[in-house]
Structure 1
Amino acid sequence: MSDVKRGPWTVHGESVSFDNPWLAVHEYPVTMPSGDPGRYGVVHFKNRAIGVLPLDEEGYTWIVGQHRFPFDAYSWELPEGGGPLDEEPEAAALRELEEETGLKAEKLTPIGSWQLSNSVTDEISFAYIATGLSSGEFAPDPTEVLEIKRLPFAELLDLVISGEITDAFTVLMVQTAYIRAQRGLLPPEISRHIVPG
């Protein structure tokens, strides 16, 4: 590989030091902006991050509890998962919602797409509010042991503000939904359940 410029960095090569079905770690020998030699590692994700905020006609939502291996801690989160790059994000959102909560949705309203950690990963996320909910089939992945809780959106917002919910993607979705509802940037039938009155 010939040298390639990436902004102020010069990349002299690329290798893969770890690879599994979900991610790969790419390593790059580089010349840093300072002119010094270095190595840069990037975690490449093979799926998009997909998140869903389900919202029913009573203003309730659902969160999912599970043990998270990297922190060896239990975490409450909105339904989230990976969407293969060849699957439309909306289809992945509907699938993840049903797998993790047993809920089907008639409608998805997009609320954002973000880079979740832009210094060491290339992970892109897509988030939706799901409405028109009905019963589907609960079918978690073999790697998941899930607990499901239904609660008012206002209570979820309190858990985010208090710091009891620490999952960054959940915090981002809840706060974005709340701010968009406050500013009239969501359909009224959704906003009235997020910001009553």
Structure 2
Amino acid sequence: MKKYMHSNDRLDEVTVSTEPIYEGKIISLQVDTVRLPDGSTAKREIIKHPGAVAVLAVHDSKMIMVDQFRQAMGRCELEIPAGKLEKGEDPLEAAKRELQEETGYVCDNIKLLHSFYTSPGFADEIIHLYIAEELRKGEAAPDDDEFLELYELTLAEAEEAVALGKISDAKTMLAVYAWKLKQATGVFGL
């Protein structure tokens, strides 16, 4: 077995051409023709996304979550506050904005926990996950097309919601397990 290297140019694919397919409000779709390591070519369908932020917000030993209908899933999903980045927006400022807009909470103690790609096989979406503590209640201001209900869950309640499938969103599951790790070790980390 070879030692793992983060970059492996022997596996690189080189983009030969890009064909735009769809340009939407949030995402775009393109089909890339790539040259493979053996010299042959292949097609790659790629979803382009501006990136997003998500906030693991903890208040009085409870995780702040929102419940909202998700059309792609055809049902409501319990999630941590999150939203897409606006063009040129700093992720930290976006995290503060989303937290306040969706929950009404504001926070000075907020820091990056981790950044991760949601589905790198076909999308370039990256989510910056923040941890927010020492929250102060403010006034929520959701987007006009955003209808949310606010919940506060203990760690045990959040784990039960994952086990029951009430939380099946990857960013929220990751946040629950990061919070569990913090409870066990006293340190946030992934």
| Coarse TM-score class (shorter-chain normalised) | 0.7 to 0.9
Whether 2:55 is the aligned partner of 1:27: answer: no
Q: Out of 123, 131, 135, which is 2:125 matched to?
A: 123
CA distance in 2, matches of 1:12, 1:6: 17
Q: Out of 21, 40, 46, which is 1:17 matched to?
A: 21
**Structure 1 residue 37: Cα displacement:** 4.5
- List runs of 5+ in structure 1 lacking aligned partners: 188-197
Structure 1-normalised TM-score?
0.81
- List runs of 5+ in structure 2 lacking aligned partners: 1-8
Whether 2:94 is the aligned partner of 1:103: answer: no
**Structure 1 residue 32: Cα displacement:** 4.8
The aligned residue for residue 153 of structure 1 is 155
- The Cα RMSD (Å) is 2.3
C-alpha spacing 1:69/1:33, structure 2 compared with 1 (3 Å) = farther
Identity of paired residues, percent? 29
Q: Out of 133, 152, 168, which is 2:135 matched to?
A: 133
C-alpha spacing 1:59/1:26, structure 2 compared with 1 (3 Å) = same
CA distance in 2, matches of 1:10, 1:126: 27
Structure 2-normalised TM-score?
0.84
Which amino acid in 2 is paired with 1:55?
A: V
Deviations 1:79-107 (A, max 9, x none): 11112251211111110001001111121
CA distance in 1, matches of 2:177, 2:112: 14
C-alpha spacing 1:77/1:12, structure 2 compared with 1 (3 Å) = same
The aligned residue for residue 190 of structure 1 is none
CA distance in 2, matches of 1:151, 1:116: 24
Which amino acid in 1 is paired with 2:66?
A: V
CA distance in 2, matches of 1:153, 1:98: 22
Q: Is the 8 A contact 1:111 1:177 kept in 2?
A: no
CA distance in 1, matches of 2:47, 2:86: 16
Q: Out of 38, 45, 54, which is 1:41 matched to?
A: 45
CA distance in 1, matches of 2:10, 2:32: 11
